[in-house]
Amino acid sequence: MSEARAYTPRGRTVREGMPRPQRPADEPRPRRTPAGSGSASRGDRPALRVLDGGRQDERRGSGRGRGTGARERDRDDARDTVPAPRRKAARNTAAARSRPAPIRKPRHPRRPPKLGDPGRRLRVASLLAMVMLATVGVRLVVLQFGDTPEWARKGLNDRLQVVTLPAARGAIYDQNGAVLAHSVEARYIAVDPEVVKDANQTASLLAPILGLSKSELLDRMQKRIRPDGRPSRFEWLARAVSTSDAKKVEALELPEIVIGRDEKREWPGRDLAANLIGFTGNEMNGLEGIEARYDELLRGVNGERRFEVGKYVDGTDLAKEIPGGYSQQTPAKDGSSLTLTIDRDMQYEAQRIIGEQMAKVDASIGAAVVLDARTGEVYAQVSYPTYDPVEFAKADPEDRQDVASAVVVDPGSVHKALIYGAALEEGVITPDTILQVGPTIRKGGVTFRDTHPHPEGTRITMAGALAYSSNVAAIQVADQLGPEKVVEYQKRFGLGQSVNEGVAGEASGKVLEAGEWSGSGYGSVPIGHSVDATLLQMAAAYGAIANDGVYVQPHLIKDTIAPDGTVTPNTDVKTHQVISAKSARELRTLLESVMVIPDGSGKDARVNGYRVAGKTGTSSRLAEGAYLPGEVASFIGMAPAENPRFVVAVFAHTPKGGGGAVAGPAFKEIMGFALRHFKVPPSSTEPPEFKVFP
């Protein structure tokens, strides 16, 4: 069957049914042999071969076996049967066959396309993916740790609203827990200038409620640019507004007005101890007095709340907190409170007495100190004039100073007690020493006189010398001590250095060193001139005499109270021995003579029922290195003299007047109230009898 040709259902051979191979485009198409031509390879079709049963092949084969002549006859026969045009074509074909075929260059066969390498494609794709992932990773790192967080913060800052959470300022109490100064809840009133539509109308509505002028409110409502270039969205209008006034503002329903929690400092006693306590500013920061000295302790640390808000856009108020947005809160740390050694009732009474007495003597300034002789606690410290801290701006700055600790004066004759104490301690004198005095004494070309002059050569006791405040006797005692010892004991008694009581603005005074004394200094220093001291310093010196020769630092702070209620007592109180207890007792007895001797200088300072020891003084006031007109009258004493509990010091700068007449009556009233208020029993013994002239 290899040579057989089978029919297909449509009469075609199997070979014909197969797709024809595509001929290359540059290969010349074969010419068809005309029908009836003798060429079997060109004229025969497969179908005809099948139909004639292969006879054509047989004939082709038989023709090959015949001779040349027979083949020529066949051609002649065929020529006779072919029309003329065909014969011509046949001749041309025959001629073409007889010509040799042109020699063609062998064509190189086309190479098949090279197939791709899957492994190589996978490696390249993996490399590209890794590069892309690395780039994304690097970018993420840059976004996370590079400049992008800063950009994000800047964007967040544009949307942040910061609200201060004020820390409650600590209170100030007296020694019994009575409030001297404290903070109460209040409100602040502020404005958002970017929201203001009618500033004139808003100012007109707020002015009568806030107590501010309309022009001032208009100025605060002006639009402003902050240092960072953004418009201001918050400007203060009023601070420490009462809650009742804040409700009136809130009722106006002004969209541009901001109301928030604030603090208001109150002083229930108003001018009670105002010169001592001081006051605060709008930011609840201490400006003067104890409020300033202990500002860091009292103020605490404000907290704050930061949160995202929208904006005010096209008349729509979106400046509200964004739910779920950024929010952070730092809680406030409240300040600690202070308990003072001041007794409110004692302070009030002393302040009342000084005010009345200073008005009687036409004093420009005055002061009083009530000191616990054993502990150094200051129970009252009064200044004249005083002021109302609620309206501190209306007071003259000089009227706001604490006179007792800030004003420097020549102590005058109250300084003589220190000279006699040093002389007793050094053994220069005894309580029974007799001096010979005259009406005057001359030192460095300057004559010093006694206010109670005695003839030259008058013999006088130590008690008499103190009772009559003899300048001549005091200078003679100081001569026996020598300037070095005088200066030494001045410093021991606390002169020339700040007491460090606890109030701001305390003066230190000055003591002349022995080498700085001029010729007249040998006369002026012993009697309390050429010495700069405050009333508080002199009260502390007398406190050492009252406390058996032990100096105890005067102080105002009793303890501190932390926000959680923890109480810490003040233990930083310095003490030192100045003179012996024996010398202190002898000096106290001598000082009683000032009160006991009928015409002594302290007769106006006597307190009924109590033995009192003290000394009067008359001196001058220093200001900017120069003495001011007028006199400084003073009295410092202790009671009960046999076992002192309190030291009271009083002084006043008046046009004219001695210490006994001006300061004595005020001392008497203040000391009498202190002894009764603290229930000190009256003296059970009578004071000794003193002789002035032996």
Three-class HEC string of 400-442? HCCHHHHCCECCHHHHHHHHHHHHHHHCCCCCCCEEEECCEEE
Per-residue pLDDT, 36: 45
Is this prediction's pTM over 0.85? no
Q: Which two tokens stand for residue 493?
A: 């008694």
Helices (H) and strands (E) in the chain, counts: 25, 27
106 preceded by a cis bond (ω within 30 of 0):
no
Task: State both tokens at 128.
Answer: 């590209």
pLDDT bracket for residue 292 (50, 70, 90):
very high
**Torsion sign across C-alpha atoms 578, 580, 581, 582:** negative
Q: Which range is least confidently modeled, 36-50, 146-160, 306-320? A: 36-50
Lowest mean pLDDT among 143-157, 349-363, 448-462: 143-157
Max alpha carbon distance in the chain (Å)? 205
Mean pLDDT in residue range 166-185: 92
Separation CA 448–CA 531 (nearest Å): 16
How many Å apart are CA 263 and CA 285, to the nearest integer?
11
Residue 127 reports pLDDT greater than 50: yes
Residue 347 has pLDDT above 90, yes or no: yes
Q: What mean pLDDT is reported for the chain?
A: 83
* Of 604 and 162, more confident: 604
Whether the bond into 100 is cis, omega within 30 of 0:
no
User: Which of 340, 333, 301, 296 lies closest to 181, judged by CA?
Assistant: 340
> What residues are labeled active site?
413
pLDDT at 29: 54
**CB-CB contact of 593 with 416 (8 Å):** no
Residue 390 per-residue DSSP state: G
Provide the 8-state DSSP code for 176: T
Region 255-280: mean pLDDT is: 91
| pLDDT for 553 beyond 70 | yes
Across 309-377, the runs of DSSP E, i.e. the strands, are 312-313, 316-317, 327-330, 337-340, 365-372
Q: What is the pLDDT of residue 281?
A: 87
Beta pairing, strands 446-449 & 440-443: antiparallel
Beta bridge partners of 186: 262
pLDDT at 117 over 50: yes
